[in-house]
């Protein structure tokens, strides 16, 4: 996102990043990852700003697995991009 000159706003910044990813990834795998990341974003918001919520050990392990999958996908996409 930053490499292409886009910057999320200070308000709704996380939402903007999710929407950007949805457009850029676009594939079935990308849509699944965006859905997962958006769910994690919403849970983080609840934990930080609203009610106290608990993340189970299994949920944390799944989040790490999804993050690794996301990291690999983005790494493959950006492998041939010029450095800014």
Q: What is the pLDDT along the chain (84 residues), one digit of tens a residue?
A: 777 788 887 777 777 887 888 788 777 767 788 888 888 888 888 887 877 667 788 988 988 998 898 888 888 877 776 665
68 is a domain residue: yes
32 is a domain residue: yes
4 is a domain residue: no
30 is a domain residue: yes
Q: How far is CA 12 from CA 36, 53, 63, in A?
A: 18, 21, 22
2 is a domain residue: no
5 is a domain residue: no
26 is a domain residue: yes
Please give the biggest Cα pair distance in the chain.
43
Is the whole-model pTM more than 0.85?
no
Opening angle at CA 19, ends 52 and 55, nearest 5 = 20
83 is a domain residue: no
Overall number of domains in the chain = 1
Reading the block at residue 62, the tokens are 């799944």
**Domain hosting residue 37, numbered range:** 13-75
């Amino acid at each position: 996102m930053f490499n292409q000159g886009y910057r999320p706003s200070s308000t709704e910044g996380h939402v903007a990043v999710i929407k950007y990813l949805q457009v850029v990834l676009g594939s079935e795998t990308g849509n699944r990852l965006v859905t997962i990341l958006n769910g994690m974003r919403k849970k983080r918001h609840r934990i930080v700003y609203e009610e106290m919520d608990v993340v189970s050990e299994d949920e944390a392990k799944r989040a790490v697995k999804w993050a690794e999958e996301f990291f690999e996908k983005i790494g493959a996409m950006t492998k041939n991009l010029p450095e800014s």
